[in-house]
Amino acid sequence: AQSVTQPDIHITVSEGASLELRCNYSYGATPYLFWYVQSPGQGLQLLLKYFSGDTLVQGIKGFEAEFKRSQSSFNLRKPSVHWSDAAEYFCAVGARNRDDKIIFGKGTRLHILP
């Protein structure tokens, strides 16, 4: 079964600084990979997804993520964060072969310093 690890529970960056949120997955083949964002009091919104092809994926709100098969990673990046990016970010993995479900990581809470 697939699993996903987000090693950082909290990350604090200054507004305008670059951001990288880490995500590692475990799955026997190439999975489907997702990043979701959850703003306070809101549901989960898809930022980006990787299914196949180009390993660098562009998403909404200026985010991108890179799939690295050799490292089993799918880290989320943004070159310059805005105060409105403060939220919880979830990496998620889906199996290609049979499951309907997507498994989420524990999330990383992003704090932005003014």
Residue whose CB is less far from other proteins, 69 or 98: 98
Instruction: Check if the beta carbon of residue 77 is closer than 8 Å to that of residue 65.
Output: yes
- 94 counts as binding other proteins under rule CB under 8 A: yes
Selected range binding other proteins among 19-27, 53-61, 75-83, 91-99, rule: CB under 8 A: 91-99
3-class SS of residue 112: strand
Nearer residue to other proteins within complex by CB, 12 or 80:
12
* Cα 5 from chain centroid (whole Å): 10
Sole window of 16-24, 55-63, 69-77, 90-98 interacting with other proteins (rule: CB under 8 A): 90-98
Using CB under 8 A as the binding rule, whether residue 103 contacts other proteins is answered as: yes
Supply the DSSP symbol for 84. Answer: G
Tell me the two tokens of residue 110: 């992003």
**Apex CA 109: angle with CA 12 and CA 47, to 5°?**
110
Q: Which is nearer to other proteins, 15 or 64 (CB)?
A: 64
Query: Euclidean distance between the first and final Cα of the chain, in Å?
Result: 41
> Residues in the site for other proteins, rule: CB under 8 A?
32, 36, 41-46, 49, 51, 90, 94-96, 98-107
